[in-house]
Amino acid sequence: MTQNKMLRPEFTRALAARLLQGASINLTAPHGLGRRRTVQDLRSVLPQGMPVLHADMKSSAADFPSTLSGLCAQAGLKDKDTANLGQLIESLGQDPVPALLILHNVDLLKNAPHDPLFDTALLPYLARIAEYPHLALLCISEAIYADWPLPCEHLPLPPKAGDIARI
């Protein structure tokens, strides 16, 4: 994909630069405004060979072990090497090669009927990402929730290419 075909080229390049510096960002926009396309565009501007682990959290409330297993497979790790998200983050964080963890629809876990999953299996480990300078986090959600302590800088997705948010 060429950069001139990106939906939000300036925004996407600025987002990539922040993530390459190890930022933790919660990208927010309602469904249908190009969140998935922004992730595709982001992948096109990140360095080739940079590990990018991606999980859609839609199914995680019902089956988080499967989500963890998928992330481990993307990282080239065996399930037995990572019993929880914290071990996966630690493994990625100790590697000097920059890596990115993308959690799409992370806000769907907020109101999941099985939650304490978010509070016990996800949130504490996401907060530890800041300890690793080569590891970045991109959460994607519909909105910002004041009562939800996601350890990320909140960043709204601009509605169109001409409306570039400062990041």
CATH number of the domain bearing residue 94 = 3.40.50.300
Question: Residue 161: inside a domain, yes or no?
Answer: no
Q: What is the pLDDT of residue 106?
A: 87
Residue 167 counted as domain residue = no
Q: Is residue 51 part of a domain?
A: yes
**Any domain includes 132:** yes
Burial of 32 (0-12, 13-18, 19+ CB in 10 A): exposed
Assigned domain for 147 exists:
yes
Domain membership of residue 165 (yes or no) is: no
Rounded CA separation 57/97 (Å):
25
pTM: 0.87
**What pLDDT score was predicted for residue 117?**
56
Spell out the alpha helix ranges (H) of 21-122: 35-45, 64-75, 85-93, 117
Positions in the chain whose pLDDT score sits under 50: 1-3, 163, 165-166
Give the pLDDT score at 2: 44
Number of domains in the chain: 1
Enclosing domain of residue 49: 3-156
pLDDT at residue number 116 = 53
Of the candidates 47, 45, 96, 90, the one whose C-alpha atom is nearest the C-alpha of residue 72 is 90
Residues whose CB is less than 8 angstroms from the CB of residue 102 and which lie 6 or more positions away in sequence, other chains included: 39, 52, 53, 54, 55, 138, 139, 140
